[in-house]
Amino acid sequence: MFAKESLINTIFVQGPYLGYRLAMALIFSVILIVLDVRFSQLDPARNVISSSLTPFQWLSDFPQKLSNGFTFIFTSRDELESELDVMRDRMLVLERQSQKLASVTAELNRLRELLSASRLLDEGVVVTELVGASPDPNNQFILIDKGLNDGVLVGQAVLDANGLMGQVIEVNEFRSRVLLISDNRHAVPVQVNRNGMRAIAYGVGSLDHLELGNVPDTADVQVGDLLVSSGLGGRFPQGYPVARISQIEHHPGQAFATVNAKPEALLNRSRLLLLVFKEQVAREVLSSDLVDQESQNGVLDASMSESLMSSESLDANADSQRSVEGL
């Protein structure tokens, strides 16, 4: 009995060394935090750790994918047919819009070439999917399923179907971290779409709230004005919707008004997103797809030319037979 008590006391002994160990651990943690924030020496280690944790993220996302698969399997035939009809109608509408936009885009590109403009009208985009989100309101970022293997770079803009979502701040081999425009560390150069007035939209830590900084009290802004990215600084492409002004407060005796805006993007609901590439990077990322498409088009063109040649030869034979009969 006494032997057991002495063994327990030996195992759980608390001497002065425990305080020293705690102090050393705290000092080491502070040093690592400072190195991580101020310097970039720990970036390779962070990338390696992040890449090694990717299988666990896949496993955590597997139950949801499995549930979605079962839901799709047990969907009724009537629901699938109605959804297919809706998608066909939407496809027809989008095809008509794309035909109009294609001609307008081509005309604008020709005008820019005549003016020796260096910027193309459209950027390359790649579809990506959201695979994770931060639950911390003071650290608003998401994870997407594209990384270095897909050509993603730090600083790329990320969009959803409605507007600007944020920008890539960290990239590993398989996934990337995107800082949302609502984060209190984020700022976007914008301009009022109605009159071109420039401003800066700051995140305030709320998913449905942005704030414009240093807007003069006499500025021509109205509730409902659309804010689009101005392209200043070269970080974000020009012309993408960012937010819409929701509230304006004028303070007597002060030079600046308080202007609040609501993001156009669905920051807490969108799952399918778009990564925006510059022209040169987009060509490198999409080159293989374009080569495959061109090869397929070449095969189709060859088959069409052969069919045209055969039809022309048949027409020529028919004409020759008619001339012989006439003689």
Residue 179 belongs to domain with CATH number: 2.40.10.350
Q: Is residue 172 part of a domain?
A: yes
Q: What is the pTM of this model?
A: 0.60
d(CA 210, CA 187): 9
Tokens of 200: 């800066």
Q: Is the pLDDT of residue 135 over 50?
A: yes
Only one residue has tokens 């579809």, namely 127
Q: Is residue 200 within 8 Å of residue 188, measured between CB atoms?
A: yes
Given pLDDT bands bounded at 50, 70 and 90, which one contains residue 136? Answer: confident
Residue 45 located in a structural domain = no
Q: Higher-confidence residue: 44 or 183?
A: 183
Tokens 């910027």 -> residue: 119
Cβ-contact 151, 137 below 8 angstroms: no
User: Is the separation of the CB atoms in 169 and 178 below 8 Å?
Assistant: yes
The answer to whether residue 225 is domain-embedded is yes
Query: Domains in the chain: how many in total?
Result: 1
- pLDDT over 90 (residue 162): no
Residue 207: helix, strand or coil by DSSP?
A: coil
SS3 assignment, position 240: coil
pLDDT at 39 over 80: no
pLDDT, tens only, 229-263: 998 888 888 888 999 999 999 988 889 999 999 99
> Does any domain span residue 33?
no
Tens digit of each residue's pLDDT (9 = 90 or more) over 254-294: 899 999 999 999 998 888 898 888 654 445 544 544 444 44
Per-residue pLDDT band for 178 (boundaries 50, 70, 90) equals very high
Kindly give the pairing relationship between strand 198-206 and strand 209-216.
antiparallel
Q: What percent of the chain has pLDDT over 90?
A: 28
What's the pLDDT at 65? Answer: 80
Amino acid identity, residue 70?
F
Is 80 inside any structural domain?
no
Beta bridge partners of 159: 164, 274
Return the percentage of the chain with pLDDT > 70, whole number. 74
Domain membership of residue 133 (yes or no) is yes
For 156, the domain range is 125-279
Residue 130 lies in a domain: yes
What's the mean pLDDT when you consider all of the chain?
77
pLDDT band with cut points at 50, 70 and 90 for residue 300:
very low
> Is 58 within the bounds of a domain?
no
Contact 223, 244 (CB under 8 A): no
Separation of alpha carbons 291 and 297, rounded Å: 10
Q: How far apart are the first and last CA of the chain?
A: 130
